[in-house]
Amino acid sequence: MTESPITEGDLQAYADDRLPEGRRAAVEAWLASRPDEAERIAAYRRLANEVRTAYDSMIVEPVPERLAWVAAPRISIRRIAAVVAWIALGIAIGAPFGWQVRPERGVAQSTPDTSLIARRAAVAHATYSPEVRHPVEVGSEDEQHLVTWLSKRLGVKVKAPKLDEAGMGLVGGRLLPGENGPVALFMYQNQNGRRLTLYVRTEASKNRETAFRYARENNVGVFYWIDREVGYALASADLNKDELLKLANLVYKQLEQ
């Protein structure tokens, strides 16, 4: 293969993860002997991540009514309702759309504060689990870095449970904005491409513990619980309630240790 010289365009595409395999290797080799350039490109990657982190909250926010209504008269109310329901997942309790978490029969009624975590976790799952190219910010190959970074940002020790015995491998994780500060999201995937996300946030009140609770947000099932200063929510659109409960037990057991 003849190697054409590395251009600025190659470097930009490298920063965006858009180079084909061979070219990427060539750029990596080129950068290896040029620390200043390597630092510049690394900074571009960091900035791109920061830009996404900064504005991604707009994706899960409820769409203001005035915008929903611009579209409303043209399409059926039922369709709008379905879309608005999805969008409204991100909304605080008591907000205008009145969308509620409905715990299943036999499960204790959630307090607003705890059911909010289920909602947030479902939104995060719905947002990131369909991603093909950017499901996570830091991949499992950098697990140590991922865990250290997220622990530092959350201010508590966070770890990524090992779910291999249930056939779920760690894909990686990312940082999300939350009400009480930064939130960690870990993503897992099995051989069939079914995905599971674990949403981890710090809690405002430190001394509560709750049992597992289950909620279903549209097609996303969520088991969530609070363990002292940390709230957890395990979400999946691809697994049924029993499978999810088994995994929630596995996660809980590991986090106990």
Residues that bind other proteins (CB under 8 A): 7-9, 12-13, 15-16, 18, 40, 43-44, 47-48, 50-56, 58-61, 63-64, 66-68, 70-71, 74-75, 79-80, 83, 87, 133-134, 177
Least distance from other proteins to the Cβ atom of residue 52, Å? 6
Q: How far is CA 243 from the centre of its chain?
A: 20
122 vs 234, which CB is nearer to other proteins?
A: 122
| Torsion angle of the four alpha carbons 162, 168, 171, 172, in this order, in degrees rounded to the nearest 10 | -30
- Taking Cα atoms as reference points, which of 57, 86, 68, 80 lies closest to residue 219? 86
Side-chain half-sphere CA neighbours of 44 within 13 A? 13
32 vs 70, which CB is nearer to other proteins?
A: 70
41 vs 138, which CB is nearer to other proteins?
A: 41
Identity of residue 6: I
168 vs 175, which CB is nearer to other proteins?
A: 175
For tokens 């996404």, the residue is: 52
**65 vs 187: CA distance, rounded Å:** 32
**Which stretch of DSSP H or E encloses residue 42?**
helix 35-55
49 vs 249, which CB is nearer to other proteins?
A: 49
- Taking Cα atoms as reference points, which of 93, 56, 103 lies closest to residue 224? 103
CB 225 within 8 A of CB 135: no
Least distance from other proteins to the Cβ atom of residue 172, Å? 17
- Helices and strands per DSSP (H, E), number in the chain: 9, 8
CB 216 within 8 A of CB 104: yes
Least distance from other proteins to the Cβ atom of residue 133, Å? 7
39 vs 104, which CB is nearer to other proteins?
A: 39
Least distance from other proteins to the Cβ atom of residue 40, Å? 7
CB atoms within 10 A of CB 171: 19
66 vs 105, which CB is nearer to other proteins?
A: 66
Task: For residue 226, list its beta bridge partners.
Answer: 231
Least distance from other proteins to the Cβ atom of residue 61, Å? 7
Can you read off the two tokens belonging to residue 139?
A: 């991949």
Least distance from other proteins to the Cβ atom of residue 48, Å? 4
Least distance from other proteins to the Cβ atom of residue 187, Å? 17
